[in-house]
Structure 1
Amino acid sequence: MEMKPLGRTGIMVTDLCLGTMTFGTQTTEADAHTQIDMALDAGINFVDAAEMYPVNPISKETVGRTEEILGNWNAAHSSRRADYVLATKHSGAGFAHARDGAPISGQTIPEAIEGSLRRLKTDCIDLYQFHWPNRGSYMFRQNWTYAPSGHNTDEVLDNMRECLEALQAQVDKGNIRAFGLSNESAWGTAQWLRLAEDGAGPRVASVQNEYSLMCRHFDTDMAELSVHEDVGLMAFSPLAAGFLTGKYQGGAVPEGSRMSLVPEMGGRHRARAFDAVEAYLEVAARHGLDPVHMALAWCQTRPFMMSAIFGATSVEQLAHILSGKDLQLSDEVLADITEAHRAHPMPF
């Protein structure tokens, strides 16, 4: 693993990040605490959560449970809280289980942060992210019908300015250290940056968007912005929601897997996806590589990558992921991956 800068904050994070979205549903609290121990002992110093977690499935009854599980670990290991960078997220417009679906605003930010701090049992959130833009996003397969319309630009920018001012107040209070985005576009990220440069509030340090061998929206405009503006990518679903493990090939649906709980897999379950997975599995086999290790190692070759967020529903899965954490791919492997991508672009 390598250490990467969290934007221009001076904070350094590992290029692998422990994702926690199954903590409280697929992953028990005991296993979640073991996973945190294992990740930190392996040298990972980055943990990502969200106030809406856990998922698979999402329910009103479990919202916030992931942060509570992390908080119980923090309370029991207070001397280790400084060993890792803690990230969480503010849910936004349309999420009915938090603030009745209110959009992110100067009014919701203090309440949301105080709630997360309380559940996390910590004095400060290192990286506070907006889970998705109020104006909507093309992520999660919405790209097929996405149209940037229906929003007044001045109103959007006024809201951004208001949010940055509220975030600055939280930085001044010591409640958060840095600000990040999630499911954002190049235009949106650029506006947050511009407003921060005008003095409205903290500069964007990172953006958490989906990215994997099978989902490469980030490769064009966002990639250029990320590199030149020091807004590193936190890639979620770097294993394509488990597709790249190969466990769903041939119609298999392992008991307790995400597909067994969410059959459509967030719109990823398409015939073309399985053909793409097969191509990447063949590349891994040709070079004697584990496909999980190959997929994560490939993410680290991207010039805009800050950290790839992986999830493990079990301790055994985490141990397997960690066993390949230092893999580096040869030029021959990278060339074969490029050919597979050209043959199977945008598989879902």
Structure 2
Amino acid sequence: MAQRAMGYRRLGQDGPQVSAICLGTMTFGQQNDEAESHAQLDRAFERGINFIDTAEMYPVPTRAETSGATERIVGSWLARQPREKVVLATKAAGPARSLGWIRGGPLALDRDNLRAAVEACLKRLRTDYIDLYQLHWPERNQPMFGQWQYEPEKERDCTPIRTQLEALAELVAEGKVRHVGLSNEHPWGVMEFVRLAREHGLPRVVSTQNAYSLLNRVYEYGLAETCHREQVGLLAYSPLAFGLLSGKYLKDTGASGRITLFEGFGQRYSKPNVAPAVQAYAELAAAHGLTPTQLALAFTYRRWCVASTIIGATSLAQLDQNLDAWDVDVTPELAAAIDAIHLRYTNPAP
């Protein structure tokens, strides 16, 4: 199979031009040391990737001892690159998760917290600016990370979205941040960020980073229309569903990966219909002469609603497999078969 040239897409109305595949880094500093991480970054850029995604709380599973290590590793690599050729994305942790070692909470996505987060990120990343600065998850009450119901009784005080945008606007004006984005958002949140930016002359979000895979197509239900009409790009994360869609756990439930290495990790993938759905997609892949990995990644790479797919790996061999899937086409016949399985096992891991 001939190697297809990497594609590039613009995020939002005026965001950066990014490769259709983004290298995720959440294993750096936990499952991969600095040398291994740099090798992955080098390989990705050799293959046409210009887009890196990280976060202040990485690596995962997050803990005080390693917090910030991923950004430091990316920073030591970035220091020897032509900065203008790299589109660097990172994320600010918000409240609602137990991360007491990050800014004492973190307590809010307010002006003081966002400024402190950006300043620390810039120092770890050894750069003067961040191309895409994302809010890792909403501060407000909403279901996320495997939760599937909105529960109004859990409402709490939170920083107004306009206040969050105003804080980000200061950082953009100072040149520390070039573009802003969201992560783990829902349609209401995207619309509020877009509306308030338009009404008050504040930075317009160019992207939202949400889980999207054969096992989780919830994005298509409300966010796909919202983001298409408002020109907000989807950065699809977990396209292999923590490795489940590679098929490696089908015959070996103890196969090495985050699911087996870290107890209680990836709870959204422990739901009842996940295993039969993975089996069905693996059988479909085999029937079309593909590996399960090729099928799962080709699906996200070719979906009209995906601006860039975030991949992650723990070895160069694994990274190469993920990158090689860029060459796979999804025929109308294959797309119809994928949809048939989706209708049988609809979003087993929301």
Q: Could you tell me the TM-score, scaled by structure 2's length?
A: 0.93
Aligned position for 1:99: 103
> Once the 2 structures are TM-superposed, how far is the Cα of residue 10 of structure 1 from its aligned partner?
4.2
Distance across 2 between alignment mates of 1:199 and 1:326: 43
SS state at 2:27 partner = coil
3-state SS of 1:283 partner: helix
Specify the code of the residue in structure 2 equivalent to 1:66: T
Distance 2:304 2:325 in 1: 20
Aligned residues: 340
- Checking the alignment, whether the CA contact within 8 Å between 1:253 and 1:259 is kept in structure 2 is no
CA distance 1:296–1:148, change in 2 (3 Å): farther
Percent identity of equivalent pairs: 44
CA distance in 1 between partners of 2:337 and 2:271 (Å): 23
Q: Which residue is equivalent to 1:231?
A: 232
Structure 1 residue 126 displacement after superposition: 0.2
Cα deviation, residue 180, structure 1: 0.3
Contact 1:52 1:91 in 2 (8 A): yes
AA aligned opposite 2:77: W
Q: Which residue in 2 is equivalent to 1:297?
A: 298
Question: Which letter does structure 1 place at the counterpart of 2:274?
Answer: A
Give, in angstroms, the shift of residue 135 of structure 1: 0.9
Partner of 1:261: 261
The Cα offsets for residues 69-95 of structure 1, whole Å up to 9 and x where unpaired, read as 0011112x133x222210000000033
Partner of 1:8: 13
Whether 1:49 and 2:54 are equivalent positions in the alignment is yes
Q: What TM-score results when the alignment is normalised by the length of structure 1?
A: 0.94
The residue that corresponds to 2:3 in the other structure is none
Q: Hey, what's the Cα distance between the residues in 1 that align with 2:103 and 2:275?
A: 38
Distance, in Å, in 2 between the alignment partners of 1:150 and 1:138 is 10
Q: Is the 8 A contact 1:139 1:210 kept in 2?
A: no
* CA deviation vs aligned residue, 1:220-255 (integer Å, no higher than 9, x gap): 110100111110110110111110000111352223
C-alpha contact 2:57 2:67 (8 A) present in aligned 1:
yes
Equivalent in the alignment of 1:84: 86
Amino acid at match of 2:103: R
| Cα deviation 1:301-325 (Å, max 9, x = unaligned) | 3222111101001111101112222
Out of 120, 128, 131, which is 1:123 matched to? 128
Question: For 1:162 and 1:323, how far apart are their aligned partners in 2?
Answer: 43
- Residues 230-283 of structure 1: CA deviation (Å, up to 9, x unaligned): 10110110111110000111352223x112222444211234211100100011
Q: Distance in 1 between matches of 2:229 and 2:175?
A: 29
Q: Distance in 2 between matches of 1:148 and 1:238?
A: 30
Deviation at residue 182 of structure 1 after TM alignment: 0.5
| Residue 77 of structure 2 corresponds to residue 73 of structure 1 | yes
Q: 1:148 to 1:183 in 2, by over 3 A?
A: farther
Q: CA deviation at 1:41?
A: 0.6
Match of 1:192 in 2: 193
In the alignment, residue 278 of structure 2 is paired with which amino acid?
V
Does structure 2 conserve the Cα–Cα contact (< 8 Å) formed by 1:48 and 1:88?
A: yes
1:180 and 1:221 mapped to 2: Cα distance?
18
1:135-284 to 2 correspondence within 5 Å?
135-143=140-148, 145-151=149-155, 159-255=160-256, 257-267=257-267, 268-284=269-285
Separation (CA, whole Å) in 2 of partners of 1:78 and 1:321 = 23
Asked if 1:114 is matched to 2:119, the reply is yes
Q: Secondary structure at the match of 1:318?
A: helix
